[in-house]
Amino acid sequence: MTIYNYVVEKPNGEPIALSDYQGKVLLIVNTASKCKFTPQFDDLQKVYSDFQQYGFEILGFPCNQFGGQEPGTNEEAVAFCQINYGVKFPIFAKLEVNGHTAHPLFQYLKQEAPFNGFDESNIQSKLLKMIISEKNPEWLVGDAIKWNFTKFLINQSGEVVRRYEPNDEISTLQEDIVKLLKA
């Protein structure tokens, strides 16, 4: 099984098979417009601009499960990303990433790339862990997505290579993208 077995929705509700992205390196990200990590759209767009021509795509999936930080419609989420951050990569319809209503794609991603714990030496990781323990303590257990801007790197065969937590460095992600594009 690969991510190519899944279908997601465009903001207008039209289904799109992830097999349409076959042969590309992908970064799948759960996003939100009103999150402390929202400025990551700048870095993500830069990475997209740098590598798209080499067969790289970012797929953004708005999610409102983390503190209600994506309250608007699908169209509002897309417009926010484009207007405020110049996002050119695809933003899909809102979905859920945790719980019994989690989209099957994110169930698969979590299964293939389990949570590796918080970097306790990083102050942002400690703060994120505190926020989660207050707002959604059930997500501290297991492989649940912990917060917005969790990222999954996918190789050209549709296999999950790595999971990045919201406060992981973009430079690490870039290095991993380059390795896959050269493979």
| Alpha-carbon span 52 to 166, nearest angstrom | 22
| DSSP string over 87-130 | --S-B------SSTT--HHHHHHHHHS------TTSHHHHHHHH
Dist. CA 168–CA 164, nearest whole Å: 6
Buried b (16+ CB within 10 A) or exposed e, 63-99: bbbbbebbeeebeebbebbeeebebebbbbbbbbbbe
Kindly give, in sequence order, each residue whose CB lies less than 8 Å from that of residue 113, ignoring residues fewer than 6 positions away. 152, 160, 161, 162, 163
**Which one of the listed residues 25, 35, 81, 153 is annotated catalytic?**
35
Strand partners, 15: 9
Token pair in block for residue 69: 């930080």
Tell me, what amino acid is at 3?
A: I
Catalytic residue at 35?
Answer: yes
Catalytic (active-site) positions: 35
